[in-house]
Structure formats: C-alpha cells, structure tokens
Structure 1
Amino acid sequence: MPYRFVVASALLLLSSLCMAQGPAPAISYTRDIQPIFTEKCVACHACYDSACQLNLGSGEGAGRGASKIPVYDGERSKAQAPTRLFYDASGKAAWQRQGFYSVLDAQGSQAALMARMLELGHRTPLQPNAKLPSEIVLGLSRENMCPQPGEFDAYAGAHPKEGMPLAVTGLTDQQYQTLQRWLASGAPIDEQGLAPSARESLQVAQWENLLNAPGARESLVARWLYEHWFLAHIYFEGGEPGHFFQWVRSRTPSGQPIDLINTRRPNDDPGTQVYYRLWPVQGVIVHKTHITYPLSAAKMARVKTLFYSGDWQVTALPGYGPARRANPFETFEAIPAKARYQFMLDNAEYFVRTFIRGPVCRGQIATDVIRDNFWALFQAPEHDLYITDPVYRGQATPLLAMPGQNDDVGSVLSLWLAYRDKRNEYEALRRDFYAHAPAPSWSSLWTGNDNALLSIFRHFDSASVTKGLIGEVPQTMWLFDYPLLERTYYQLAVNFDVFGNVSHQAQTRLYFDLIRNGAEQNFLRLMPAGSREDFLDDWYQNSGKFKMWLDYESIDDDKRSALKLDPQDPKKDFVNQLLTRYGELNAKPDPINRCNGAYCSRPNIDPALQDAEQALSRLASRPAAGLKVIEQLPEATLLRVQTASGKREFYSMLRNRAHSNVAFMLGESLRYQPGLDTLTIFPGILSSYPNFIFNVPADQVPAFVEAMQAVRDGASFDRVVERWGIRRSHPQFWQYFHDQTRYLQEVDPLEAGVMDMNRYENL
C-alpha cells in the first residue's frame, strides 16, 4: 500500500477518535511543537550541517524547509549562494526562490513530507538497545538523499528503516500524534521572536551608542570591534537566563527596526552607511555554535581605556575589498597594536574558540592541520616586538597578508607560493629581530587572567577549547604572539567562507599549516637552543622533513633561552615549572591524567566520585599499544557516573590520535600511528559532538575499568557496550543524551546548549 494512503488512513482514524472525545485544543507551535523538535530533532537538524539543510531550531527554519544542496562541499569549483538562517532570506517564499522546498505543506491528496517521514519512522521502531542494521549509514559519511515530496515513495521503498528521527529511539505516541495533528491542520507557526528585557534594552542602547559614535577614530575602532565580535553570543551582566545577542550591521540606526546588511563576510563592503546593532539570537541554543562573550559596565570601561585613552588619530578611514581583507594589520594600523592585542588576550579563550571550535559546525579543512591535543600559551605584550618596536612593526606589516581573497581555481598554486614566500620572509624577519632581543624568560608569557593557559583537543573534524592545562604533557605546544593570533582569527573566522569554492578552502587550509608551524617555532624559542632541532625532528617525522625543507623557514637554533630547564626533558620540566609558577591561573587542574602521587582524583568532591576518578586514572595517558581498548573507541566518548546518593558527573573520554606529522592536506591515514594513541579522561563535557555515552554507577567504575583494560578486540568491546553503553536504540536514549545539557545548565549555565548527535556511533 503506498505510504500516502497509510498516512491518510492514520490521520482519518486519529481525527475520528478526537471527534468522539470532543474537539482537541488548538496546537501551538511555540508551546507544543518546538519542544518536540528541540528534544527529538534539533540534535541532528541545526546549523549548516543540518541534514538536507532542514533546521528545526526555530519556526523560521521549519518553515524554510529542506534543500538538496549541501553546505559542506570541498570540491565545488564555484562558491555557492549563502543560506544562513535569519540572514540570507526571510519567509517561505524567499527561501523557495533559493531552492528550498517545504516539508510542512500537504501536496494535494498527500500528507506533508514531514508527516510521511515521521510515519515511516514510527512504524519501524528499533529493537531496544540493539546495534543498528549495518545497511543504515550514519555519521558524516552518510549521503543524505533529501527526497522532495514527489520522491518520497521511492525513498521509503529503498530505505524502509530510515524514517525520522533517523536510526534512534523515536517519538513517543503522544509526540507523534501531536505532530501529525499539527501537520494535518496546516502546520501553523505562532512563534514570536526573542525580545530583550528592559535592563538588557538599556545595555543594548549603551553599547550601540558606543559603536555608532561619530568621528573617524570611533568609526575605525567600531569596525575592528565588530569584526572581532560578529561570531559571539553576547550576554549581559544581569541579563535574562538564555538571552543572547549578536552584533550585526544594519542600514538603520538604534531605535529603528534592524535592516540587516547580509554580506558574505563581516568585512565585505556594506555598500551603504553602517550602523552596528545588537540582535537577539533566535531559536534553540545549540552547543556547537554557542561561543559566549560577556558585556558589562567593566567591559565598556576596559574598551574605552584600551582604545580611547591615547591621543592617536585617524587621518583617513580605510575602504573595503580583497586587499583590506587580506591584511587587517594595514587596514587597522592606526589603532595602537597594544590595544588590539590586549583586547584579544583579555578573552583569549573566546578568540581561540572562534577558529578552533568554530561555528561552521564541520571543520576538517582546518582541523586536519592540528595535533589531536596541544596547549596554547600567549606572548606578553611587553615582550612582543610587533607591539614594542615600530621599526619591526613597519617592516613586518606588509608581510602579514593572508590568501583566500581570490578564489580562481587555476591560480591556487601560484597564490599559495606567493603567500608562502611572503610568510617565510616574515618568519626570517622575526627570527633576526628576536635574535637581538633579550632572551625569552618566564616574563615573556602573558599571565593576565585564566585565559592564559588553554587546552585544545581535536576530534577528527571538530575541536574544543578549554581553559586550563588538561591531559598529559602534549607532544606540541603553541605560543601565540599578536601577529599570529590576529592572522589565525582573520584567516579562519573573519575571512573564511563556508560556502566558498575549492580554491578558497584549499588556500585557507594551506596557510593554516604555516600558522601552526609558526606557533610551534615561537614555543621552541623557550626551549634550550640545542634541543630545538630534536623537537622538530619528532614533530615532523618522515614526509614532514620534506615539508620542512619545502615550505617552512628555518628555526633559530642559536639564540639561547633564559629559562633554566632540565636538558634531559626540557619540555616536561617547562610544564612542571609552568604549573608551579602559574598554578592559580590553571583553571582546571588535572590529577587524573597527570597523577604525580598516590591520589589521582580531585580533592573536595564526593568520595564515591573520588574513588571513580582513582580507578579511571588507570586508563588515562597510556599508549594504545598497551591499552587495546583505545583502538575500539571513537573520538569523543562521554562517561556518565552516578553515585548511590543520586549525584552524577560526566567525564569526557577523548581519543588522541597520533601522527608522524600533520603537515599535508591529503593522506592523513598514511601518517597515522595508532599504537601511540592515548586517552584523556576529564570531568566535564569537552565536545559538542559526543560519539557515544556509557552510563556507569559509581560503584561499578572499577569493574568498568577492568573490563576496558581486558578488551583485546571488537567482540570483547561489544560486551562492555552491552553492559554499560547507551546505544541509539536505548529506550531512554534521549533522557541520557539531554542530560548532558542539563548537566551544563547546572555547572556552567552560560555554556549550555543542545548537543549534536550527527556523529553518535553505532557501537
């Protein structure tokens, strides 16, 4: 029987039952529908990696519908039109002109596409907590079919087990009936946009007044600030819980409705007079795009002190265009470099998150150039020659331009070579100038607040950034100075176009390789001069040596460091001294992965959790060659531990994959060293994309650890999953999955958002 008749019959029966019991209350999208979408759909349908671009985090997204055109396409020869929700169109008709099709509208005698997809999923429930059939392809390797309404019957015939929600415990009967009633009634949407409170409105006006103040100096600072805030989810001191704002450019001033200037990039020519406005973030907050930034009276005073306390002047405002995008150091050179750098340091975690964690939702183009775990440090402004030496700054600035502005496919190689040579000329200049500067010492590191020490973990095509030094002592470390931090931010956040073509994306990836090398070389200046080549040989093994010869400027291995480090293991000694000197800045001490005594757990926590952490430490920071279970684990696993008293803690179990080097765009598997993989275990949620969840009572953690240690192959790992795993088909899957968000709401509510399950594996 065709599915359209099955759906029609089900809706007729449902209607008859409702009539027999009296008229059902009217369904409200805001009250009844969006909560269902938030619980069962948003985990896969949010941001640019929404399946079929169907974003169900808001009524606007549901009404927009779906598209067959993927956002992520690393092979397209031409850039495609942006399809940013709330930005690039508004309303169903406008989106349909961009190629979207409705999933809510009935098609003649056929029910809405969403109704049929939900019916297909509801009639084929999964076997509880069983492994899914192998024919259901999941993860980022899945090629979404995105059937239009007229193609649904063919899709259902070919994929009878792939209704919605896809390959996961589905809707309850009540949720299913509510959605079907809503769709049968025409899917009305009564959603109202988020509005600021009175206190927030006052702060919005104060900040908009600051950024729209008249004067050339004020205009230049406002433009620079906007380009550094455009990705932020702004929250106000004393603001309403769950209220966040975004900076946008508008044709209209404060007090009038925002008339959005929706250029492809935030630093493209607006074509008109610009007003910087704060716009409430609409829709469900999802963790992967939620990069927060605080605004307060203290922050406003800080901005005024940094940017307006001196007597610097602007003789002429810079224009827009590719050259201005390519070199923000020239574009904003009138603004004191010390002010720009210090502003970024004050909230360094935010800026590193914008280009490492990132809101583009899928970032392998960027992430395959970084190690799976490393730490980031920052050079103190008073020791940064770009800040302190105008002669050096004048010579360096023209060399700091970045590629990606010209996306001609035929010019990729020539553009890359030109920018590589310019960057290497800068590195040689930097090396020579720093050779005559005082030797780097502990005072060379910025230690202004707890943003000074950051940990980065890569999870294949996503990554996370956290304050504090987490995990074992990593193979590499990065040291940012101002030119490096600003270039990284502009290359990967401001100038990166997720809708760009293969040329733009390749240039971005290739230049980020040079950025990583520069950050590593900056750090090596802290190491004893005679050890630097040995470190490089370890970081760039095998083919990496060829890349060092081909593309990188040589390192200074003569200029001594003023740090007194153990010559046998200078990096480890550096870390020990770093933790001793700046322990108060280490936001999250880590006794589990760096256990130096008998006690390998955090003090002052529930004794049952202390015992659990003591046991878990036996799995941490060991190579896979001696801990075979690492070979079975995905990138980011969450362990939920609950005590007998009802307390629970989440632990992130992160697989750190080892590589001989990370210097090439292609062939990552050829450089993979699986025997050197390690596992980092840390309390909290360190990924927006959990690959799996284990739920283990606290008193069973020792048994869980023993079982993990005993794993030798897939079959023995399956037994661990059977006992403690929360598979996609688990009857309480959504309870455990959303408990991650509830946990964040309890421990760090500003950072809470719905997690992504596109990468949740079929273990």
Structure 2
Amino acid sequence: MKKPVQGRIYASVILVASIIFLLPGYQQQEEQVKPRVIAETQTYSFVNNVKPILDNKCLACHSCYDAPCQLKMESWHGVERGASKRQVYDGGRLKDASPTRLYIDAQTAQEWRNKGFYSVLSEYVHEEDQTTLPLMQQMLDLGQSNPLPLNTKVPDTIQLGFDRVNSCPAPGEFSDYAEKFPHGGMPLAVSGLDKQEFKTLSTWLKQGAKIDSQPITLSDTEQLMIKRWESWLNQSDKRSRLLSRYLYEHLFLGHLYLTRADQSGNSTPAFYQLIRSFTPPGNKAVIVPTVRPNDDPEQLFYYRLIPVPGTIVHKTHITYRFDADRLEHYQQLFSSADWNVETLPGYGYEERSNPFITFAAIPAKLRYRFLLNDARFFVRNFIRGPVCRGQIATNVIRDQFWVMFEDPGFELYSNNPQYQSSVNDYLGLPGEKSSLLDFGSQWFNYNNDRNTYLDLRQKAYQQAYPSGAALQHIWDGDQTNNNAFLTVFRHHNSASVTSGWQGEIPLTAWVMGYPLLERTYYELVVNFDVFGSVSHQAQTRLYFDLIRNGSETNFLRFMPAASRQAIYSDWYQASAKIKAKITYHDLDSQTPSDITYSSTKPKEELLQILMHRYPTLTSAEDSINRCNACNDPPTRSAATQASIALRSIAAKPASTLAGIKWLPEATFVRINSVQGDGLQHAAKPFLAYTLLRNRRHSSVAYLLGESLRYQEDLDTLTILPEPVGSYPNLILQLDVSQLDDFVTSFSNIDSKRSFNQFVQHWGVGRMNPQFWQVFHSFTDYMQATNPLEAGVYDMNRYGHW
C-alpha cells in the first residue's frame, strides 16, 4: 500500500521541480556569461569619462548597503561586481546571512559570481545562441526609449522611496522586467542621461567596458605618517596590543583623515580606513574578513591604514582627524596614568559582549576622556551607522533631542575603581547569540542585568553626591570643545547629529556618562551585524530603547525631585506607562537636585542656564528657531534676510502652521542670492538651508505601532542654515527677493492640494531638466564651506515630486 503513495509523492516532486525550473528566476541558469572582448581602441576612458557620469547620475542611489540590488557604484569594484537579488537589510530573516561586503568578502568577479552576483557589464548567451546586451545597457536603453515627460510629477504608480521592493532582473529576465515596469529604465524616475552621456556609456559598454582604474598614489608625507601610525599600532608589548585593539574597535567605521596639498598648493583631506590585515606593513593589505571588528581573526594580523576607495558619499562619511597631533595626543593621554596588562583578553563570547571587562586594564578615566574628546564622532557612528537605517531602527528615539555628558571629574564609574568592579558584570550587551530560540532568554537576562546595574548606580551616586546632581557635573567641553553639546535629529527612517543645541528647546534631553556612551557604541556599532537575524536585530533595538530611557532618566536627576514624575509621565504617555513599570528601572523621585530653580519649568530653565553659561558651545544665538529679541546686524545681507524671513515659520506647531503636516522629514532649500553674498555655483551665488520636520509622539517606548502614538498637531519645524541629513526628501529653490512670497505661500497651506501647488511652484522635481545640477549643488556647497563633511547625497528617499 505504501508504494503507490510513494510513487505519487515522487511524481508530485518531479512536477513541482519541473514547474520551478521553468519559472523566470531560474532561466538564468541556462545562460552563460560571454567573456568581455576589450576593443583595442577605446573611445572613452572609465576614469575620465565614464565614472564622472556614474558619480553624477547613478551614485545618488547606488551606494552603501542600501544600494538597489546591491549594485554599488562608488568605485569600479562595485560596478565590476554587479548585482544580486539578495537584500542586505532584511528584518524577517530567521538566521544570520553570509555577508557580502565589497572589498572584504570576495576579491574577484568570479568569487562574486559564486556568491550569486551577476555581471551588469557582460553580454549573456541564451541556449538558443542568442546574445543579450549587458544588463546596464538594457537598463539605459529602457530609460532612453520610454522616459517620463520632463517637468511632470512622477506617477504614484512608480514605486520609489525607502520601502520599495527593488526588482533586480537577472540578464535573462529583462524582457519580463521591461514589460512589467515600462518606466523602470535607468536612471529611475528622474531626468536621465543627456545624449552625450548616453553615447559615452553605450560606447564604453560596446567596446568591452574596459576599466582603466588608476592606483591611489600617496605623497611622501602621507607615507611617512602612515608608517608612523602602523609602527605605533603594531607594537608587540601587551599594553600596546590591548590599546590598539581598543582604538581599532572604536575607529573601524570612520573615515580617518590626513591632509595633503593639491596641485595648487591648497590643503585637501585624504581619507583612510583602519583595518586588520593578515599582511604586515609594507605589503599589500589583506583585510581580515570577520563579521564584526571584535570577532576572532584566528591568526596573526596587523593594524593597517588603507585609503578609502571610490567617491565619498555623505551617508557613510563619518570623519575623524588622524594626523601627527592626534598620535601625540594618544601617546600623552594613555601614558598619563600607570597601568599594565598581565593577560590579554581573547575574542570569546564574554569578551565580545562586555567591553568593560575586556578593556578593564585601561583606566576607565582614560577611556572616557578618549570618547568625550570626539563625542560627536562616536554618537554619529551609532546614529548614522548601518544600524540606523529604517523606521524600526530609529523609532526608539525622538525626532529632536539635545545631548550632554557627565563631567569626567565627577562621572562615578571612571573615578571609582571599587564601584567599577561591582557593576562590570551587569554591563554586558545582548545580540551575540542571534538564534531565534535564544531571543527570549537573552533579552530577559540582559534587561535584568541592566536594572540591577541601575540599582547599584543609584545607590552609589546617592552616597557620592548626597545633595544630588549639580551643574558642574555636566561637562563644559573644557570651555573650548564643541563636542560637549550635541543635537540629534531623526528623519523618520534615518537620523543625523550636529554640534551645538539646534532648534527649539526639545521635549527630551539626554545626559550620558561613560557606561551609557560605551554601551551604546558597542551595541549599535561594534556588535551590530547588518546581515544578522531578526533575533539579533530585535535584541539590538530593544536594548537601544533601554539606552534612551537611561539617558533621559539620567537627565532627570538634575530636575527637582518633586518635578521628575510629571516630566517623565509627559515623555511616556498612555500605554508607555505600563512599560515604564514593567521594563524600565523605577524613576528616582527622592534624591534631591543640587540646583536651585526659580521657575515652574525646570527642564527649560536648566537648558537655558546651560546655554547662557556656554553660548558658543551650545549655539545659543539661534537667529531662526529661538529668536525672542534677536540683535540682527544692521547690514541686510542675504543670510540676514533669510533668517528674518524664515524665523516666522520656525518652531511653530502644526496646529498653527498647517503646512508642516504635509512637509517631508528633510527638505533642502537653495536660496539664490545677489552677487558677492553667498557661494558661487553655476555662476549664481546661493545659500543652503534645511527644513526639518519634527514629529511628536506620545512616547517612543515601542518598536511597532508608531502611528498609534503620533500627535500630528504638535509637529514643529526646525530650520538650519546648512544641509543636514544624508537623504533629502525634497528640494525647494527661490531667489532671495522671493523670501517673503515663499514664507507667505508656505504659511497659507491648508490642504494637501495647496501643498502640492506650493511644491509645484517652489520645488525641484525629479523630472526637472536642472534636477541633477541643483541636487549636487548642495554637495558643492559643503565642499566650499565644510570640505571635511562633503559627500554625495542620497536620493533613495526623494519623493514623487
């Protein structure tokens, strides 16, 4: 009786397999890549002719981990690697995925083919001996043959934005793709290539897509500086080895810069990455391909500096000075206290999950000072790094909040070794065990440890400072360091960090001591795996929720004891009150504050006191967002005119300025001004501003259900005189003479229809023939005003304008 059943099962399997084999996704198995034939005579050079087009028309979408189809175009390596159907950001995968990091996880085109990437430069041969054009050419042809009309709004039927599902046709699937997406050619839904650009790319592809990459040449000065760094980082004694490991784990994500003179003698930054290499200095670097920077390399390695390859894109460009002065500072800082290392820590689970134990031999006071001196860099690492990509990643923080730090002279952990040893075991971080089966137990264990630590911390601070927190407990940046006071802006599914306190006085503020700052960095940067499972990602984000709560309640220590609960309840409304009782540590409403208040609004009063004390470091003079009695300069420059006009719409709630309700998160504004007042671009000076929409929620205590907590009428607008954020959602353009009309027009918005009319009048749409010129003018602006921070902006979040 079993045989017929088995036979039917076997036949069914064969049938299903046959059907699957005929599906479009499997047709590519019948195709073979045709080796590229490089023409002897090349009409165009990749470096001089092709790459500038890719930088100008392709890179704004095709870069970083969120490049559509993993087709990265920052350098020729990504173009040669090609595309893949696999997603990097996948919030639903049950197991960790194998990483596909450019330059690291494969080195040759064939190695990438073995990992599922297919060429976009080569022709393919069908089983019928038919040859298809390179996939890039087919995409360009589709864009040229079926473009959207210029100066029209992109139809909503074309899926754009962060949440779109990228369609990544393999070479044999393109005809189906073109039929399904007739306007899916490249560049996608934006004014495309001009005739010469199309001719250049098509000719280059037809002639074999030769890549004439040029090696990066280093000046004698750069080579000498790199040699000094590598010699210092690779010293063999245990103390040096532990320190180098600590530095590497904190700098691996950064773009470390030296300076070099260009042909005109001007100083320009040169950017490098700090890596672990299997090869010693003097040899070609071979990157240790571990998933995390604190994973076991399993063999001898060396710390090396290598140039950052390709074109700089803003979203990954987190800069850090790494010159001779920095080396001297490190040498002085880490030799300013006596410390020794008896046994070097390993790379096991305990060492990776608890940096406080791993690096206990390095005095905590020195570690904290190292982080404080460049706090903006480290905060940017976890606010702008790979972890903060997507709404679930960012919706555990407010849309705008101010950050400050405990003074290193009073911060308890870094000054009390006995207290350190009593709490170190409770400072471990979740996420190392990424199995779905481990999720529940891991989370409960680490949440309990965190609350136990806060019990011990609260008692220790009460004992050390019985009068409570005082003003001098807040770091003043040693009067000169602009890392002391920071602002974080959330742009719905991304975030950014600026120096100083920007915008209106926020709803919440953070105070971070050493354990908070170090744990945040390790949880969201060092230990975060962008290819990790849903369990790993959930543990990371849930712990970030605890970090935020701990930073907020640390700020509340400076409030009068009797005022804390009311402020806290305003931050955690409705169902968040339940979470506050179940998950968070109990709020301390008993310990006094050692600050005398004279108003009924102590939060606002404290922040005003600090701005008055440190006006330069806090950016207290905000002529747009916090202007009660501004002293405008007598000369009416374009910048002054803009500030006066724009302040009338800044910091107002959406209940009185309805236009905010339809404005996207980050809007770049270009104001063309008069000759000699501004910056030169395309023969027109201009000023750059950003309109940031700050969404208000009853709480940010949960990862999901954000819309249920949204308080739209309380949304506000922050206006900053520079580009802020890496992902503009909209660009507006006007002349300085039109400022009053612009403000009046925005103030009169009262419906979606009137907002669309406003955008139609002032906006720079995707199909505007000047779109790319205006879009890249903001990079040019940064290159002229702040070249260290300049990079190509990303347009994956630009709307259907």
Fold equivalence (TM over 0.5): yes
Which residue identity does 1:555 align to in structure 2?
A: L
> Does residue 690 of structure 1 match 2:728?
yes
SS in 1 for 2:296: coil
Match of residue 680 from structure 2: none
SS in 2 for 1:345: helix
Match of residue 673 from structure 1: 711
Higher alpha-carbon deviation: 119-128 or 33-42? 119-128
Higher alpha-carbon deviation: 360-369 or 282-291? 360-369
> Does residue 338 of structure 1 match 2:365?
yes
- How far is the alpha carbon of 1:24 from its aligned partner? 8.1
- How far is the alpha carbon of 1:273 from its aligned partner? 1.5
Which residue identity does 1:447 align to in structure 2?
A: D
**Cα deviation 1:405-458 (Å, max 9, x = unaligned):** 101102212211111010000111111111122222221111221100100000
Q: Aligned partners of 2:794 and 2:727: how far apart in 1?
A: 5
| Aligned partners of 1:82 and 1:499 also within 8 Å | yes
Q: Aligned partners of 2:313 and 2:89: how far apart in 1?
A: 19
Higher alpha-carbon deviation: 384-393 or 146-155? 384-393
- Mapping for residues 115-126 of structure 1, pairs under 5 Å: 115-126=137-148
Match of residue 66 from structure 2: 49
1:541 to 553, 556, 573: 573
Match of residue 116 from structure 2: 99
Higher alpha-carbon deviation: 347-356 or 189-198? 189-198
1:283 to 297, 301, 310: 310
Match of residue 8 from structure 1: none
> Does residue 615 of structure 1 match 2:645?
yes
Q: Aligned partners of 1:635 and 1:364: how far apart in 2?
A: 12
**Cα deviation 1:333-370 (Å, max 9, x = unaligned):** 00000110000101000000000111457243431110
Q: 1:642 to 1:311 in 2, by over 3 A?
A: same
Q: Aligned partners of 2:260 and 2:204: how far apart in 1?
A: 37
> Does residue 129 of structure 1 match 2:158?
no
Match of residue 734 from structure 1: 772
Match of residue 446 from structure 1: 475
**Cα deviation 1:706-756 (Å, max 9, x = unaligned):** 111100111111111111110101110000000010000011001100000
Match of residue 269 from structure 1: 296
> Does residue 219 of structure 1 match 2:257?
no
Match of residue 10 from structure 1: none
Q: 1:605 to 1:190 in 2, by over 3 A?
A: farther
SS in 2 for 1:301: helix
In structure 1, the gaps of 5 or more residues are 1-18
Which residue identity does 2:476 align to in structure 1?
A: T
| Aligned partners of 1:528 and 1:570 also within 8 Å | yes
Match of residue 544 from structure 2: 512
Which residue identity does 1:279 align to in structure 2?
A: I
**Cα deviation 1:500-530 (Å, max 9, x = unaligned):** 0000000001111100010001101111111
Match of residue 163 from structure 1: 185
Match of residue 658 from structure 1: 696
SS in 2 for 1:694: strand
Equivalenced residues, count: 740
| Aligned partners of 1:194 and 1:281 also within 8 Å | no
Which residue identity does 2:472 align to in structure 1?
A: S
Match of residue 717 from structure 1: 755
Which residue identity does 1:142 align to in structure 2?
A: R
| Aligned partners of 2:230 and 2:305 also within 8 Å | yes
- Mapping for residues 212-361 of structure 1, pairs under 5 Å: 212-238=234-260, 241-359=268-386
- How far is the alpha carbon of 1:158 from its aligned partner? 1.0
- How far is the alpha carbon of 1:195 from its aligned partner? 3.2
Q: Aligned partners of 1:352 and 1:363: how far apart in 2?
A: 18
Q: 1:126 to 1:84 in 2, by over 3 A?
A: same
| Aligned partners of 1:287 and 1:753 also within 8 Å | yes
Match of residue 5 from structure 1: none
1:208 to 224, 230, 237: 230
1:427 to 450, 454, 462: 454
Which residue identity does 1:568 align to in structure 2?
A: T
Q: Aligned partners of 1:238 and 1:110: how far apart in 2?
A: 46
Q: Aligned partners of 2:389 and 2:209: how far apart in 1?
A: 31
In structure 2, the gaps of 5 or more residues are 1-38, 126-130, 263-267, 676-683
- How far is the alpha carbon of 1:564 from its aligned partner? 2.0
| Aligned partners of 2:387 and 2:528 also within 8 Å | no
Which residue identity does 1:628 align to in structure 2?
A: A
Q: Aligned partners of 1:274 and 1:225: how far apart in 2?
A: 15
Higher alpha-carbon deviation: 454-463 or 119-128? 119-128
SS in 1 for 2:123: coil
SS in 2 for 1:249: strand
SS in 2 for 1:541: coil
SS in 1 for 2:124: coil
Match of residue 478 from structure 1: 510
- Aligned alpha-carbon RMSD (Å): 1.6
Match of residue 14 from structure 1: none
- How far is the alpha carbon of 1:306 from its aligned partner? 1.7
- Mapping for residues 18-97 of structure 1, pairs under 5 Å: 26-97=43-114
Q: Aligned partners of 2:403 and 2:621: how far apart in 1?
A: 16
- How far is the alpha carbon of 1:314 from its aligned partner? 0.5
Which residue identity does 1:743 align to in structure 2?
A: Y
Higher alpha-carbon deviation: 282-291 or 574-583? 574-583
Which residue identity does 1:76 align to in structure 2?
A: R
Q: Aligned partners of 2:450 and 2:705: how far apart in 1?
A: 25
Match of residue 11 from structure 1: none
**Cα deviation 1:542-585 (Å, max 9, x = unaligned):** 01100101101112212211222234111111121111111132
| Aligned partners of 2:144 and 2:185 also within 8 Å | yes
Higher alpha-carbon deviation: 338-347 or 290-299? 290-299
1:183 to 202, 205, 218: 205
Which residue identity does 1:287 align to in structure 2?
A: H
Tell me the percent identity. Answer: 49
| Aligned partners of 1:290 and 1:359 also within 8 Å | no
SS in 2 for 1:383: coil
Match of residue 606 from structure 2: 574
Q: Aligned partners of 1:548 and 1:734: how far apart in 2?
A: 48
Q: 1:758 to 1:617 in 2, by over 3 A?
A: same
- How far is the alpha carbon of 1:297 from its aligned partner? 2.2
| Aligned partners of 1:45 and 1:56 also within 8 Å | yes
**Cα deviation 1:148-191 (Å, max 9, x = unaligned):** 11000011011111100000000010000010001111111111
- How far is the alpha carbon of 1:298 from its aligned partner? 2.0
Q: Aligned partners of 1:604 and 1:311: how far apart in 2?
A: 56
Q: 1:430 to 1:361 in 2, by over 3 A?
A: closer
Q: Aligned partners of 2:644 and 2:393: how far apart in 1?
A: 36
Q: Aligned partners of 2:237 and 2:611: how far apart in 1?
A: 46
